[in-house]
Amino acid sequence: MNIRDSLLAALIAFNVFAIGTSESAATEAKDQITILYDAFGTNDAMTKDWGFSALVEVAGKRILFDTGNNPEIFAANVKVKGVNLSDLDFVVLSHRHSDHMAGLSYVLSVNPTVKIYAPKEGFGIYGSSLPSGFYRKDEALPPEMRYYGGKPPAVIKSGSAWANANFELIDQTTEIAPGITLISLISDAPGTRELKELSLAVNTAEGVVLLVGCSHPGIERIVEAATGINPRIHLIAGGFHLVVAPDEAIAKVVTALKDRFKVDAVAPGHCTGEPTFAALKTAFGDSYLYAGLGTSISVGTSGNTRRGEGPTLDDLATYRKLAAREDPFGILRSRGLRSGSAL
Ligand SMILES: [Zn+2]
Ligand SMILES: [Zn+2]
């Protein structure tokens, strides 16, 4: 009886262990973000170039977020990582800058019918449409001087640079699948005023996993919009667009992400900027997830791995001490040593 009981206990223990292992292995295999295009990284088999692309495997979906700056480099990087682009659920193009969408021609060459979400912009590169009522009419003119001879179609369509691509244009923040939202915001920054950008928010059990392309509308605005989906932000990956920002602006954003939004972890890349990498690393410690080219970041919706490790309180205490100082991240001091170097 004792032997039978212990045998049973052993079997149960083994079984539970086996299920736990396979489940966590399955979760790890699925829930990850793989950086396919960026200008920094440690994978020598891949080519570094300015631009961004990531394969997002979260919540049972395979989503390609942006497509990089050059189709040949993108194709080569995709092959090195063994990523299959023919079974994507969909593609998201964050915005119309070429460092995020020039690889689309390669995606279409292997998957011509894939659904592509892109921002809706008047006469934009993704194609668009306008009601013909948008222009003023002059009935007194002879037909040959009137647009469409005076009989315009109800809707005037503008073409796309990828004529046969399966675009779905997004005009406002939209939940495109259960728990998967495209946040649509418009930049007000000089140089990109009126540029529309989509960010991908996946609402997981651990909070929002947020992918940002270039954050032209401002990383704080995007994160604030994401908290409308779920106040807990689990992870932000992508370009925070602080690549030319002054130190004060960097410190303000880092403080907002850490203190105001209480973001669990960051995986910054692309246009985040080198001084911002340094500031985020100081502020987030072990919750700064390295996201160089070729890296796969485990998103882990169970959250146990990151929670278990988390020296969060220590980090926060250190961070608050640093934030109270005049030059919290030592950026001003190090910049002073390189005085005259303008970005
Ligand atoms: Zn951009
Ligand atoms: Zn960019």
Task: Tell me how far the alpha carbon of residue 29 lies from the centroid of ligand 1, in angstroms.
Answer: 30
Taking the centre of ligand 1 as the mean of its atom positions, its distance from the CA of residue 190, in whole angstroms, is 13
Work out the percent of the chain whose per-residue pLDDT is above 90: 74
Closest CA to 228 of 280, 195, 184, 272: 184
Closest ligand relative to 95 C-alpha: 1
Total Cβ atoms within 10 A of residue 93: 25
Cα of 161 from ligand 2 centre, angstroms = 19
CA of 235 to the centre of ligand 2 (A): 19
What DSSP letter does each residue of 324-339 carry, written as one string? TSSSTTSHHHHHHHTT
- Summarised one tens digit per residue, pLDDT across range 256-275 is 999 999 999 999 999 999 99
Between the CA of 67 and the centroid of ligand 1 the distance, in Å, is 12
Give the ligand with the smallest distance to the CA of 99: 2
Q: Which residues surround ligand 2, an ion (CB under 5 A)?
A: 99, 214, 271
For residue 129, the model assigns a pLDDT of 87
24: CA distance to ligand 1 center in Å? 36
Which pair of structure tokens corresponds to residue 276? 């911002």
Mean pLDDT within 39-55: 98
pLDDT at 334 over 70: no
- pLDDT (mean) for 42-55: 98
Reported confidence tier of residue 303, pLDDT bands at 50, 70, 90 = very low
- Taking the centre of ligand 2 as the mean of its atom positions, its distance from the CA of residue 56, in whole angstroms, is 18
Residue 123 pLDDT: 81
Please tell me the distance between residue 307's alpha carbon and the centre of ligand 1 in angstroms. Answer: 33
The rounded Å distance from CA 38 to ligand 2 centre is 10
The more confident residue out of 326 and 117 is 117
Report how far ligand 1's centroid is from the alpha carbon of 134 (Å).
Answer: 29
Tell me which ligand sits closest to the C-alpha of residue 269: 2
Cα-atom radius of gyration of the chain, to the nearest Å? 24
Residue 23 clears pLDDT 70, i.e. is over it: no
Taking the centre of ligand 1 as the mean of its atom positions, its distance from the CA of residue 214, in whole angstroms, is: 5
pLDDT digits (tens, 9 = 90+) for 207-248: 999 999 999 999 999 999 999 999 999 999 999 999 999 999
Interatomic CA distance for residues 260 and 220, integer angstroms: 10
The CA 309 to ligand 1 mean position distance, Å, reads 35
Calculate the average pLDDT of the chain: 85
Task: Please tell me the pTM assigned to this model.
Answer: 0.80
266 CA from centroid of ligand 2 (Å): 18
Round to whole Å and give the CA distance between 181 and 193: 23
CA of 213 to the centre of ligand 2 (A): 6
CA 99 – CA 78 distance, rounded (Å): 16
CA of 103 to the centre of ligand 2 (A): 13
**What strand order describes the sheet that includes 32-37?**
166-170, 115-119, 90-92, 61-65, 53-58, 32-37, 296-298
Tokens matching residue 49: 């170039």
